[in-house]
Chains A and B, each alone.
Chain A
Amino acid sequence: MITEQTSKYLSNNVQAIQPSGIRRFFDLASSMENVISLGVGEPDFVTPWNVIEASYHSLEQGYTAYTANAGLLELRKEISRYMRRRFGVTYSAEDEMVVTVGASQAIDIALRAVVNPGEEVIVVEPSFVSYAPTVTLAGGVPVPVHTYSKDEFKLQPEQIEAAVTERTKAILLCSPNNPTGTVLSISDLVKIAEVVERHDLLVISDEIYAELTYDEPYTSFPAVRNMRERTILISGFSKAFAMTGWRLGFACGPKDILQAMLKIHQYTMMCAPTMAQHAALEALVNGQKDVVRMKESYRQRRSLVTHALEELGLSCHIPGGAFYVFPSIEKTGLSSEEFAEQLLMKEQVAVVPGSVFGVSGEGHVRCSYATSIQKLEEAMRRIDRFVKTL
């Protein structure tokens, strides 16, 4: 327990960050029964069987020890082939890649490798809840740039321009975005790249949802002209391969930066779990069919949910990727916290208030459609009933 007596021992960095707003909702929703949850940020599929099998095999063969710090070379080579094949970006398995404990750890070591105390990192909001706190923990200062539903939550290059100071080190991009599902097109990226180049910024590009885009082919940020040498690409297996619990991700980027990240990884983590690395290898070699199958199912459910929300009068843009919709609840007159809390209490549907993703998320809620069709339909009926009582 933290008492005044002991809190004095805490670091300033950790005291500066708030517990996640998602946490409070989790506690609330977990205490209730019969909840239909649209609050989950992970696939509703279990990991494809061949991948699970590969981890059994790994254990049976006695692979119970550490791997190389950067990850199994075999796996890195396969990641390299995969990234070239799927996204047209080329990284050397030997020195431009680290296998990490989830994309989460990759983000952490990327920030710690580049940020000096007091340096600023631009965070595009609404954003994944971890970005700003991880910047703070790395000793940096997160600088939010807000995006809005009128722009389909797309970052406008002028906004970067306005946020840049002489202390700005990097910008954290996330496309497709959690929570908005917004995908930046190649022309959006080219415009952002111009500003990035002009101000000599580093880009940390979180592309963990890259496989889950529904309308246009995906453009990876380092594939944009001149951007490879200033981009740390973050990805992982959690979302596309339905492997959130396996804790496996990776980072790719220019050698110097990746070697610096590897130093941190090596001293703080040693390596990612070995059986998970073998499983990931199987996922890359034989898993593309499963990715396509799951993605097809998300695409159908995206259509179901956006239609239903539209009929309820909760407008949302059609998100190009990930498995979230981010409807506006402004017309209800409630704050996003109030909306989410009352919806949970009255109708037992869990959604996440937009405000936990940053100030610009206010007026919206995040609904994940990674849930069965039956549950989605029931959830929409309940939300309809709820909105009508307001």
Chain B
Amino acid sequence: MDAKERELLQLIEKSGRLETSTIAKLMGISEEETKQIIEKLENEKVILGYSAIINWTKGTDEGAVTAMIDVKVTPKRGVGFDKVAERIYRFPEVKAVYLMSGVYDLSVSIEGKTMAEVGRFVSEKLSTIDSVISTTTHFILKKYKHDGLVFSENEEDKRIVVSP
């Protein structure tokens, strides 16, 4: 990856909503070139998508419950952890799956409307998978920071309006 690609990624990682024309000006390159770099990175699946980070607890109760589940599995001959992980990540309720080192194998993050809904998913879908030995569910009580963003009021500009 070259320096321009890296710079562009850093820009849109922070704010996916930047207009192409703004990105071009920030980087001091043409809009045409900016478009080309973006397309290339999309094609190469370096850019996987553009999403917003939403604080769902504000003004809405949708998807307000998130749980992190530690999952122990017996890896299947020939396919290892990957097939089990795939069976789990295909469920739309599952927001993230990571293979972990340590006392458990997979870390699975689930979102639901209520605790009961998440509980149902774990008992009916997740723990019934053949290779799953055990699950430990941790509900997230409050999000302080997520993906580098702080979940609090906007920090106001504390500078005086005109200074030397």
- Chain A residues packing against B (C-beta within 8 Å): 20, 22, 25-26, 29-30, 35, 37, 39-42, 44, 46, 128-130, 178, 244, 296, 300-301, 303-304, 307-308, 350, 352, 373, 377
Number of A-B contacts (CB under 8 A): 63
Structural contact, B25 and A26, CB atoms closer than 8 A: no
- The distance from the CB of A220 to the nearest CB of chain B, in whole angstroms, is 23
Given the contacts A300-B11, A304-B22, A373-B18, A40 and B161 also touching, CB distance less than 8 Å = yes
Complex interface residues of chain B between 1 and 19 (CB less than 8 A to chain A):
7, 11, 15, 18
- State the main secondary structure of chain B at its contact with A: loop
Structural contact, A37 and B161, CB atoms closer than 8 A: yes
- Chain B residues packing against A (C-beta within 8 Å): 7, 11, 15, 18, 22, 25-28, 155, 157, 159-164
B residues less than 8 Å from A26 (CB atoms): 160-163
- The distance from the CB of A150 to the nearest CB of chain B, in whole angstroms, is 24
Least CB separation from A380: chain B residue:
B25
A residues less than 8 Å from B28 (CB atoms): 303, 307
- The distance from the CB of B144 to the nearest CB of chain A, in whole angstroms, is 14
**B11, B15, B157, B164 — most chain A CB neighbours (10 Å):** B164
Least CB separation from A23: chain B residue:
B162
Least CB separation from A37: chain B residue:
B161
B residues less than 8 Å from A307 (CB atoms): 25, 28
For this complex, 25 residue pairs linking A to B, each with C-beta atoms less than 8 Å apart, are A22-B163, A26-B160, A26-B161, A29-B161, A29-B162, A30-B161, A35-B161, A39-B162, A40-B160, A40-B162, A40-B163, A42-B159, A44-B157, A46-B155, A128-B164, A129-B164, A130-B164, A244-B163, A300-B11, A300-B26, A301-B26, A304-B26, A307-B25, A350-B162, A373-B22
Assembled-state Cα–Cα distance A352/B161 (Å): 11
Assembled-state Cα–Cα distance A178/B164 (Å): 9
Contacts A37-B157, A303-B27 given; 17 further ones with Cβ under 8 A? A22-B163, A25-B162, A29-B162, A40-B160, A40-B161, A40-B163, A44-B159, A129-B164, A300-B7, A303-B25, A303-B28, A307-B25, A307-B28, A350-B161, A352-B162, A373-B18, A373-B22
Which of the residues A41, A44, A303 comes within 8 Å of B26, measured between beta carbons? Answer: A303
Least CB separation from A30: chain B residue:
B161
Structural contact, A39 and B22, CB atoms closer than 8 A: no
Assembled-state Cα–Cα distance A103/B160 (Å): 19
- The distance from the CB of A322 to the nearest CB of chain B, in whole angstroms, is 12
Assembled-state Cα–Cα distance A373/B23 (Å): 10
Assembled-state Cα–Cα distance A20/B162 (Å): 12
- The distance from the CB of B7 to the nearest CB of chain A, in whole angstroms, is 8
A residues less than 8 Å from B27 (CB atoms): 300, 303
* In the complex, the 3 A-B pairs of residues with the closest C-beta atoms, listed nearest first: A39-B162, A300-B26, A303-B28
B residues less than 8 Å from A352 (CB atoms): 162
B residues less than 8 Å from A377 (CB atoms): 22
Assembled-state Cα–Cα distance A304/B160 (Å): 23
**B11, B15, B22, B162 — most chain A CB neighbours (10 Å):** B162
Structural contact, A20 and B161, CB atoms closer than 8 A: no
Assembled-state Cα–Cα distance A44/B156 (Å): 10
Assembled-state Cα–Cα distance A178/B25 (Å): 24
B residues less than 8 Å from A304 (CB atoms): 22, 25-26
Given the contacts A44-B157, A46-B155, A373-B18, A20 and B164 also touching, CB distance less than 8 Å = yes
A residues less than 8 Å from B18 (CB atoms): 373
- The distance from the CB of A26 to the nearest CB of chain B, in whole angstroms, is 4
Assembled-state Cα–Cα distance A20/B157 (Å): 23
A residues less than 8 Å from B7 (CB atoms): 296, 300
Assembled-state Cα–Cα distance A181/B25 (Å): 19
A residues less than 8 Å from B22 (CB atoms): 304, 373, 377
